[in-house]
Amino acid sequence: MKDVPPVGGLCYCPCLPGMEVPHYPFLRATLARAASLFAACLVVSCATSGDSPQASFPDRGLPTVADSSMERVVVQAYRAIGDRHLYEPNFRNLSSEAYRSFASGDPSLALETSDGAFTVRRDGKDVITRTTPADPADGRAWGGMLAELMAGSLDASPALQASDRQALIRQAITSTTKQLDRNSRYADPDEARDNRFQRDGGGGIGITVERTDDKKILIRAVQDGSPSAKAGVQVGDQILAIDGESMVDRPLSDVVHKLRGSVGAPVNMTVLRASQGAELTLAMKRSRIIPTTVVYERRGDAALIHLMGFNSATTENLRTAIDKAKAEIGKDLSGLIIDMRSNRGGLLDQAQTVSEVFVGDGTIFSTLGRHPDSRRTYKSSTGRSKANDLPIVVLMNGGSASAAEIVAAALQDRGRAVVVGTTSYGKGTVQTVVRLANEGELILTWSRLQAPSGYTWNELGVLPNICTAKVGDAGKLGAASMETSHGQLMRWHALRNPTSQEVSDLRKICPPGETSPEADVEIAGRLLRDRVLYAQAVQAGTQQAAAAR
C-alpha cells in the first residue's frame, strides 16, 4: 500500500518512513497503514499550549497561508523556546544557524558574527547590523534581532523576495529546532492542520483512502456510523470526482482536502464500484470525525485490543471496547491483551486516562522540566478504573513510543500488566504544541518522563518482562526465563542518568524490533491462561520497581 490517510482525517506526513505495520490480517486492508501514518505524525506526547495566533503584521511580497508576518512567527517561536524548552537554550548559536538556513537561497548574502554584533553583508557590502542581546538565553530579544536581520535581508535580496514566505519560515525554524533535541520540530500550516485533525478530529466523511501504483484512489476503510457509511460507501470503491470535479490523477492530498470541510456542509462523491460496473454519485453531509485508534478483536477467551494511537477519543473508545469484550465473552474472559506495537503515541492527557482504566490509586507517571508548570505528578483514583480485576498483557516493540511507553511503564511498575515483546523506542519526553501566528506549530520538548519507580526511559526504552526476541515460542516460557527477566529489569531500572554507552549496552539485552509477530499474541494468551506464570512475571516487575524506589 501507499499513502493511506484517513479522510476527514488526513495525516499526510510519513515522517518515519519504513515503519513496519503490525500484521493483523483482519486490519491490513482497512486500518493498518492509516494507523501507521497517524502514529508517525504524533510522535510526541502533547500538552497543548494556550498560545494562539495574534493579529498579524502585513507581510512582504508573496501572500502566505495566513496573513501574518515572518518576523512575528520567528519572535513568537523564539520566545516559546526561551520560556519552555527542557534545557536553557543558547540563542547565539541557534540564531546564526537559523539565519544561514533562511538566507540559503541567496549565496550573495553572508552573516558575520562577533561578540557584540551580527552583520549581514551582500556581495561584500553591509546590509544590516544589529547589536546582540547580552543574555544568550533571552528568546524574546534574540528572536527580535533575528527577525530584523531577516527583514533587512528580504529588502535587499531579489532572490529572497521571490521565495515563498512559508518556505523561508520553515527553513529558519527547522534549523533552530534541529539544534534543540531530536523530538522538537516545526510543522508548517498544512501539516499542522492535519496534526490538529489527528488529535482532535474535524469535519469529514469517515473513510480511509489509498493511492495505488496505477494512481487510482481507492477506499480502504469506512468508519462505522460515519456519513460515508450512512451513504452506502463501500471498501474498494474508486473515487472519480468530488462535487463534480475530477479526482483522476490528482494527488492524494488534493482528494483528502476536498473531502474535509465544515461540519454539516454537504459533499457529493462520485465512485466507480467495480463489483457493479457502475458509477455512483453519493450525497452526504460532513460530520465531526475522530480517527479510529482502538479496535477490539476476540481471541478465544481473551480480548485483544489494538491501541494504535492516543487522540482525544482514545480513552472513551477503549472503555467501550472493554465493555464489548465483557459482554461478548462474559465470565469466561481470561484477560486483556493491549497491543501497542508500533504505537507512536499522542496526547499526554490520554496516556493518563488510559492508564487510569487499568490502575487504582497511586502514581502513574511524573514529569520534570525547566518550566515550573512542567513539574507534575500524575495520579490515578480507584473510582476511574474499569479493569482493575482483569489480568493484562501489554505488547510492545521498537516502534512503541511516547504515550504508549507511559502506559506500559506505569502498568509494569504498578504490577498491573506483563509487558511482552521487545524494547520500545525510548521517547521519554513530553512536547508542548505552540500554535504560531501563521497557523503552523512549534512542537517543543519541555519535560522528561519518569515511571512510578523513578526511572526514565528516554533513549533507553521500556524493557519487556518477556523478551520475544529471546523467547519467541510460547511453549518455552518458564520460571527460568522469569528469573532472567527479573535480574535484567533490576539492572535496567537502577540507572537514573545512563551514559550513551550504557544505553547502547542495555538495549542489546532485548533488541528493539519493528515487526509484530503473531507469536507475541500467542505468548500473551498463554500467560493469561497460566495464572502461575502470569503471577511470576508480574512479581518480577513489581520487585524491581520496589527496589528502585
Q: Which one is catalytic: 68, 226, 402, 481?
A: 402
427 has catalytic annotation: yes
470 has catalytic annotation: no
Q: Name residue 324's beta-bridge partners.
A: none
Q: Which one is catalytic: 427, 481, 485, 516?
A: 427
Q: SS in 3 state form for 176-244? A: HHHCCCCCCEEECHHHHHHHHHHHHCEEECCEEEEECCCCCEEEEEECCCCHHHHHCCCCCCEEEEECC
Q: For residue 436, give the DSSP letter.
A: P
Q: Name residue 202's beta-bridge partners.
A: 289
Helix H or strand E segment including 298: strand 294-299
Residue 193: φ, ψ to 5°: -60, -40
C-alpha–C-alpha distance, residues 59 and 168, integer Å:
13
129: CB partners within 8 A, 6+ apart: 117, 118, 119, 120
374 has catalytic annotation: no
Q: Name residue 285's beta-bridge partners.
A: 266
Q: Which one is catalytic: 342, 413, 447, 520?
A: 413
Cα separations in angstroms, 116 against 95, 349, 445: 14, 44, 30
**474 close to 523: Cβ distance less than 8 angstroms:** yes
Q: Could you give the count of Cα atoms lying within 13 Å of 133 in the half-sphere of its Cβ?
A: 18
C-alpha–C-alpha distance, residues 520 and 185, integer Å:
34
Q: Where are the alpha helices (DSSP H) in 201-313?
A: 227-231, 252-259
Residue with cell 477506499: 219
Residue from 529, 521, 489 nearest 506 by CA: 489
61: CB partners within 8 A, 6+ apart: 154, 161, 162, 165
In a 10 Å sphere around its CB, with 0-12 CB exposed, 13-18 middle and 19+ buried, how is residue 303 labelled?
Answer: buried
Q: Show which residues are catalytic.
A: 402, 413, 427
